[in-house]
Amino acid sequence: MKLLIRGGSVAAGYGASRRYADILAERLLPRAVEVIVRSRHRETTFDGVATFPVDIDPFRPDILLFNFGVDDAFQGVYRSEFQENLVQMIRLARLRFGPEVVLATSHTFDDPYDMDAVTIFYRSLTIVASDLDCLLIPVHHHFAGYLEEKGLTSKDLTGPDPRYPNDRGHEVIAEAIIEGLSKLLPR
C-alpha cells in the first residue's frame, strides 16, 4: 500500500531534523505501507495543482494525504482559491486512480493573529472534506490537546519561526495522523 503526502513546509519537515513523514514511514513499515513525500518548503495549493502530473500522478497512491494550509495562509492565497485548488487535486486524483483522500490540518499557533489566519484554512479543509467525502484529520485539535495535557505552549513544539514545527512537534503531528489514518490502514 502506498501513502503519498503532498503539502508545503510542514509536510516537507522544514526546520526539523526528523519530519512527521519519516516517523510515519517507520511506524507503518510493519504494516507494509510505503510513505512517499512530495512536499516542499513554501509550496501552496497552487503548486500542488501545477505539479500534480509530476508529484502525484506517477505514484498512483492508495492513500493521498494533502497537508496544505500554513504556507497558503502566510503567502496571500485566498480562501476561495485554496478550496478550489484542493477540489481540483481531489477530483483529478479520483478520476485518474481513485485513492482514499485525506485532508490534514496542521499545528496551533500562540499568536492569536497567526491562529486566526490558519483557522480560516483549517475551516476550508473541513468544508472540502465534508463536500467531497474525504477523511479529515484535525491535527490542530490533537496538537492543542497535547499542549494542554503537558502544560506547554505552541512555541515549545516549533522552531524560532512558529510556522515550522520542531522534531517534537513533528512527533505530535505523526501521532495525530496515525490515529486518523487507522481506519484506512491494514492491521
The parts of the chain modelled with pLDDT lower than 50 are none
- Alpha-helical regions (H) of 36-98: 45-50, 52-55, 70-74, 79-96
State the CB neighbour count (10 A cutoff) for residue 177: 24
Please check whether residue 186 lies inside any domain of the structure. no
Which among 60, 95, 61 is positioned nearest to 184, based on CA atoms? 61
Which among 64, 24, 48, 41 is positioned nearest to 163, based on CA atoms? 41
Please check whether residue 163 lies inside any domain of the structure. yes
Please check whether residue 170 lies inside any domain of the structure. yes
Please check whether residue 103 lies inside any domain of the structure. yes
- Where residue 36 sits, what CATH number does that domain have? 3.40.50.1110
Domain interval for residue 88: 2-181
Looking at the 3D structure of the chain, how many domains does it have? 1
What pLDDT does 128 receive? 99
Distance of CA 98 to the CA centre of its chain: 19
**Over the stretch 70-120, which tens digit does the pLDDT of each residue have?**
999 999 999 999 999 999 999 999 999 999 999 999 999 999 999 999 999
Please check whether residue 187 lies inside any domain of the structure. no
What pLDDT does 187 receive? 81
Strand partners of residue 101: 64
Please check whether residue 129 lies inside any domain of the structure. yes
What pLDDT does 27 receive? 98
**pTM for this structure?**
0.98
* Torsion angle in degrees (nearest 10) through CA of 63, 64, 65, 67: 170
| Maximum alpha-carbon separation in the chain | 46
What pLDDT does 186 receive? 86
Please check whether residue 97 lies inside any domain of the structure. yes
